[in-house]
Amino acid sequence: MGSVTSELGGGPVVRVGVLGCGNVGAPLIELISSQGAAIEARTGLRLEVTRVAVRDIAKHRPAAIDTSLLTTDADGIVNDPDIDLVVELIGGIDPARARIHSSLKAGKPVVTGNKELLAKCGAELFQAAEGAGVDLLFEAAVAGGIPIIRPLRESLVGERITRVMGIVNGTTNYILTRMTEAGASYADALAEAQELGYAEADPTADVEGYDAGAKAAIIASIAFGASVVADDVHHEGISGITEVDIDFAKRMGFVIKLLAVAEQTDVGAICVRVHPAMVPLEHPLAAVRESFNAVFVEGAAVGALMFYGRGAGGSPTASAILGDLIDAALNRHKGSHASVGQLATAVLRPLDEVESAYYLNVEVLDRPGVLAQVAGVFGNHAVSIRSMEQEGLGDEARLIFITHRARGAAVQATLADLRALEAVDRIGSVLRVVNDEA
Amino acid sequence: MGSVTSELGGGPVVRVGVLGCGNVGAPLIELISSQGAAIEARTGLRLEVTRVAVRDIAKHRPAAIDTSLLTTDADGIVNDPDIDLVVELIGGIDPARARIHSSLKAGKPVVTGNKELLAKCGAELFQAAEGAGVDLLFEAAVAGGIPIIRPLRESLVGERITRVMGIVNGTTNYILTRMTEAGASYADALAEAQELGYAEADPTADVEGYDAGAKAAIIASIAFGASVVADDVHHEGISGITEVDIDFAKRMGFVIKLLAVAEQTDVGAICVRVHPAMVPLEHPLAAVRESFNAVFVEGAAVGALMFYGRGAGGSPTASAILGDLIDAALNRHKGSHASVGQLATAVLRPLDEVESAYYLNVEVLDRPGVLAQVAGVFGNHAVSIRSMEQEGLGDEARLIFITHRARGAAVQATLADLRALEAVDRIGSVLRVVNDEA
């Protein structure tokens, strides 16, 4: 192992350089220190944090971390021959991308939780790691502390996975939980999430599904072995969900969740999307409350699996980074590394072709013949109605439809024709329904 | 790699010998065949089932498996230098134990789902694998198709795990679900489970917690790195659960589940037990219905995690075996292997010392002063009552107590004194309560 590992009293030492010391870096360094003896007892390896790159040394107090380890020279860590392994926690595309490439090129395994980067340049980085013959591990990039990437890469590598549905954004799950359980409006639940620090001042990335979309792209890449990037993911957010939708969901035995869905149909085509959906109360995802995350995996042989836990937060994310760090250290010591394999080019299936059951909330004028007219539009596009509920609203009426499975294109055509009807005042939420057929 | 792998057109071939071709072996062999190309594309390795040992060749039909692979000579497979890897699916202690030892000694990695054997001789077998420098993998031994052993061994190896609570027996979960959701009696729910093939004619191993106990021993060994065997596990079954208990659970916001619990207290001592417990409806384990399994893990840094899926059945179990098989094949190809590490001697904490909240169902004579007398007994042993409900039963009354956390010894002493009271007619179920304090 050359200068990489050396005997210093106990087992071989693995010298770790950490890029970034914020929300995740600080608890990671604490964990490595508090768990060091236990890790050495289990694995025979001693993890030693050798240098930590930060933007501003003055900001870091000695109580949290030994300030002598701190440097502002991140490139110095990447190029230091005395550092065996790099943890990238700076986030974003640049300069994280270049630093990961440099580390891999220098033969240093990299552990990262950078979902934005992986969802944009995953295939390129996996190839670089494979070329260098070292690990690039990223459990923390999807669903924080929940082991999902490793099970997909290893336990389920022989499984034909048909679909993955994840609640992978804690902010939106918190908002939807408050709307469901406390009857809060979307605006109030969002404000509450912001007060608690779950949502940012500009909540767009969370509530419009971009954060979940990046995770969906990574999940799809690993589950199906094909390169899917964030731009391939169709997004619908939760900002249009109303109390009416929440109430109808409850009444009909559903709960509304924002789902990241990666699906591989029998023809080998992949569809990756983020949207709110009606989830039946007896489905395991329905019980995932507040800011918790869960990933539901369906495989041909294994059936249904679900992985549940904390999808964010410094300490759970640091735990995921640490698991990867130990794995990479062990692999390096054995002269081995894990591989994602060559990602194929993804054949993306347009949403128009994808089938789902739907919930539609249609406001119409309350007069004779309207229901027949509306039902006729569904029939014209061969969209079969499973159930309908009507609710009076003074001069108007609200019609809530649940359809059988129908192609996206047929539902869009139905909506266009409904909007053209004089008797249709407004079309509210249109949500997919997770059911046994799907 | 010598004769171990050879180029036959595509990637290196890994020759697999399978011991046993029943419920799990048959779907495993089918999976290897149907998923072979996908596995080779992902890993570069070709899995080839070379020989399959069965007890009676005449019983196996050509439709299910190529009969030319079949042999009754299991030892021949173990000793065949042309076989690289052994899958043990014969179950039980002997001759599985000797065959695994012989395989490891011959340098063949072993994949097994044999919970009985691992819960009795795990430490010995792990040591043999470590000594031989090959894999002994056993994901299928706990919770069937659910990846739990690999996450514990790898993802969470740096995590200080405090407690694992599992619903790891599908038969009892099915029975309890039917009692809860359909109002069935224990006897009727058991009969139904037997009709469906979930329960055996003699259901003792399931309903008295022995099956769950073996899994709890394996989970504890891996989670805490200490050797725990089945005999170390305290058992209480579900055969005493009544409709009264089920009804009170519902009324108070709980559901009764049979839990396998492995706990490590701050003093480093381990307690492993199987018992029915009151689980709050908002706890993720409460939503695990029918024959599904789930393992809930609590770690100091990662917080709460849950792994959910099919805990039994040929196809899900075969999926877990296949995941291990691919891992072992890859490791063998790289000249590497996974390690459980040296298991420490477990310091087992007696149940008397373990704290829990409790549910107690006490039938008393319905006359003045009895409640004060009963409450006095709780007070004498410093068992604090959190809530009490009283229900009239003609001349008698039923008192349902939920206590705050109390030591097992104090609760046992309370029960002994209650039984000695003339006004106490009968003590029904005494169940632990999972709560926020615990």
Amino acid at A377: V
Taking CB atoms and an 8 Å limit, are A306 and B309 in contact across chains? Answer: yes
CB B399 within 8 A of CB B388: yes
The model's confidence at residue B61, banded by pLDDT at 50, 70 and 90, is low
Using CA atoms in the order A57, A59, A62, A67, what is the torsion angle rounded to 10 degrees? -10
Taking CB atoms and an 8 Å limit, are B39 and A158 in contact across chains? Answer: yes
Q: What is the mean pLDDT of residues B251-272?
A: 91
B289: tokens are: 């219905």
CB B311 within 8 A of CB B169: yes
The alpha carbon of residue A206 is apart from the nearest alpha carbon of chain B, in Å, by 22
CB A107 within 8 A of CB A135: no
Active site residue B215: yes
B144/B259 Cα distance (integer angstroms): 16
The alpha carbon of residue A154 is apart from the nearest alpha carbon of chain B, in Å, by 6
CB B227 within 8 A of CB B218: no
For A299, which of B156, B304, B319 is closest by C-beta distance? B319
Residue window 14-53, chain A: list those with CB within 8 Å of chain B. 27, 31-32, 34-35, 38-39, 41-44
Interface test with B, best of A49, A149, A155 (most B CBs within 10 A): A155
Q: Is the peptide bond before B81 cis (omega within 30 degrees of 0)?
A: no
Q: Is the dihedral of CA B101, B102, B106, B110 positive or negative?
A: negative
Pairing between β-strand B85-88 and β-strand B110-112 as defined by DSSP bridges: parallel
Q: How far is CA B401 from CA A333, A400, B385, B395, B421, in A?
A: 56, 45, 7, 20, 17
Question: Residue B253: what pLDDT?
Answer: 95
B308 and A CB contact within 8 Å: yes
Q: Is the peptide bond before A316 cis (omega within 30 degrees of 0)?
A: no
Set A108, A120, A215, A257: catalytic member: A215
Residue window 60-79, chain B: list those with CB within 8 Å of chain A. none
A143: tokens are: 């669903």
A262: tokens are: 């990666």
Beta carbons within 8 Å of B125's beta carbon, 6+ residues apart: B97, B100, B101, B104, B117, B118, B136
A353/A342 Cα distance (integer angstroms): 27
Give pLDDT < 50 ranges for chain A: 1-8, 62, 438
Question: Residue B268: what pLDDT?
Answer: 73
A302 and B CB contact within 8 Å: yes
B18/B25 Cα distance (integer angstroms): 7
B158/B149 Cα distance (integer angstroms): 14
The alpha carbon of residue A340 is apart from the nearest alpha carbon of chain B, in Å, by 8
Indicate the length of chain A as a whole number.
438
Nearest residue in B to A35, CA atom: B158
Burial class from Cβ neighbours inside 10 Å (0-12, 13-18, 19+) for residue A59 reads: exposed
**Which of B139, B191, B137, B142 has its CA nearest to residue B170?**
B142
Averaged confidence pLDDT in chain B: 93
The alpha carbon of residue A139 is apart from the nearest alpha carbon of chain B, in Å, by 9
The alpha carbon of residue A155 is apart from the nearest alpha carbon of chain B, in Å, by 5
Question: Residue B361: what pLDDT?
Answer: 96
Instruction: Map tokens 């002493």 to a residue.
Output: B413
What are the chain A neighbours of B158 within 8 Å (beta carbons)? 31-32, 35, 38-39, 319, 322-323, 325-326
**Does pLDDT of B123 surpass 70?**
yes
Nearest residue in B to A40, CA atom: B158
CB B136 within 8 A of CB B103: no
Strands (E), A159-249: 161-167, 226-227, 234-235
**Which of B171, B275, B256, B170 has its CA nearest to residue B213?**
B275
For B158, which of A284, A289, A322 is closest by C-beta distance? A322
Count of CB pairs separated by less than 8 Å, A with B: 188
Residue window 215-254, chain B: list those with CB within 8 Å of chain A. 225
Interface test with B, best of A153, A157, A310, A340 (most B CBs within 10 A): A157
A310 and B CB contact within 8 Å: yes
Q: What is the value of pTM for the model shown?
A: 0.95
What are the chain A neighbours of B331 within 8 Å (beta carbons)? 336
Rounded to two decimals, the ipTM of the complex is 0.94
The alpha carbon of residue A16 is apart from the nearest alpha carbon of chain B, in Å, by 15
Question: Residue A61: what pLDDT?
Answer: 62
CB A308 within 8 A of CB A293: yes
The alpha carbon of residue A102 is apart from the nearest alpha carbon of chain B, in Å, by 25
Taking CB atoms and an 8 Å limit, are B35 and A158 in contact across chains? Answer: yes
Question: Residue B40: what pLDDT?
Answer: 94
Among B69-78, B267-276, B400-409, whose mean pLDDT is lowest?
B267-276
Question: Residue A6: what pLDDT?
Answer: 36
CB B290 within 8 A of CB B297: no
Set B115, B120, B215, B257: catalytic member: B215
Q: Is B412 left (phi over 0), alpha (psi -120 to 50) or beta?
A: alpha
Q: Which carries the bigger pLDDT value, residue A258 or residue B66?
A: A258
Q: How many CB atoms within 10 Å of residue B285?
A: 22
A375/A175 Cα distance (integer angstroms): 34
What are the chain B neighbours of A42 within 8 Å (beta carbons)? 157, 225, 341
**Does pLDDT of B56 surpass 90?**
no
pLDDT in tens, B294-340: 999 999 999 999 999 999 999 999 999 999 999 999 999 999 998 88
Q: Which residues of A272-289 are buried (b: 16+ CB within 10 A; e: fewer)?
A: bbbbbbbbbeebbbbbbb
Interface test with A, best of B152, B157, B167, B289 (most A CBs within 10 A): B157
pLDDT in tens, B203-248: 999 999 999 999 999 999 999 999 999 999 999 999 999 999 999 9
pLDDT in tens, B130-157: 999 999 999 999 999 999 999 999 999 9
Beta carbons within 8 Å of A416's beta carbon, 6+ residues apart: none
CB B293 within 8 A of CB B144: yes
B295 and A CB contact within 8 Å: no
Nearest residue in B to A144, CA atom: B302
Q: Is the dihedral of CA A208, A214, A215, A221 positive or negative?
A: positive
Q: How far is CA B211 from CA B169, B186, B230, B250, B414, in A?
A: 7, 19, 9, 27, 30
What are the chain B neighbours of A310 within 8 Å (beta carbons)? 302-305
Taking CB atoms and an 8 Å limit, are A284 and B286 in contact across chains? Answer: no
